[in-house]
Amino acid sequence: MMSSIRIAVVAGVSAVAAIAVVAALVVGFSNGPTPGGGAAGAAAPVAKTEFPGLTAPTGDPQLLSIARLAPDAGTVQLAEGPFDDRFEVNDLAFDGATVSGSILVTSDVSEVINLEVLAGFYDSAGALIGEGRFVLESEHGTTDDASKIPDETVAFRIDVPAAIAGQASSAAVGVPVLVNE
């Protein structure tokens, strides 16, 4: 009889131990690491959207190279910008009142979504006296024909601002914004 009591005690202790192990596993998995690497119940990581000491830009995108140029009277120069390796400028002209040309995107064959062309206008001494801007914002994905090959050429015209009309004798253009698919 003593051995049956011993067997019952061992079986009871084993059952309690098994229940404890199962309970520990359940608690461990419910509070342990989640597939994302954090613990369940812990706050999920979020994107940092504020950076102390960093102020958000204001105004339109600029090109520092516009201010450094001094084109000769009657000429148009290209101003250096961040996207120069992604496009060609064609048919560039300045008639004293308007600078015009076209931008051909060469980086890939995809629709131009956003393009800004910045023009600097200069007096006869080559001093920057004003700026103008051409902005193209396309409705992404609204083409009528999905099989149509995107047109990567964008013609632009930028008038000399009224405040400096008749004073501009040269111009420079550059691209501070270029977004394509």
Q: Model confidence over 87-137: pLDDT tens digits? A: 999 999 999 999 999 999 988 777 888 999 999 999 999 999 999 999 998
How far is the C-alpha of 140 from the C-alpha of 98, rounded, in Å? 29
Structure tokens at 2: 């003593």
C-alpha separations of 65 from 16, 27, 128 in Å: 78, 63, 11
Q: Which CATH architecture has domain 64-180?
A: Sandwich (2.60)
Three-state DSSP state, 9 = helix
Place of tokens 């102390």: 52
User: What value does the mean pLDDT take over residues 1-19?
Assistant: 48
pLDDT confidence band for 148 (50 / 70 / 90): low
Label the pairing between strands 76-78 and 87-94: unpaired
Contact predicate 131/64, CB 8 Å: no
pLDDT digits (tens, 9 = 90+) for 14-48: 554 555 544 555 555 555 555 555 555 566 788 87
To which H or E segment does residue 119 belong?
Answer: strand 112-122
Cα–Cα dist 12/19, whole Å:
11
C-alpha 8/C-alpha 135 separation (Å) is: 86
Query: Which one has a higher pLDDT value, 31 or 8?
Result: 31
The number of angstroms, rounded, from the C-alpha of 121 to the middle of its chain's C-alpha atoms is: 28
Residue 4 has pLDDT above 60, yes or no: no
- Whose tokens are 């600078």? That residue is 99
**What would the pLDDT profile of 46-84 be if each residue is shown by its tens digit?**
887 778 888 777 788 899 999 999 999 999 999 999 999
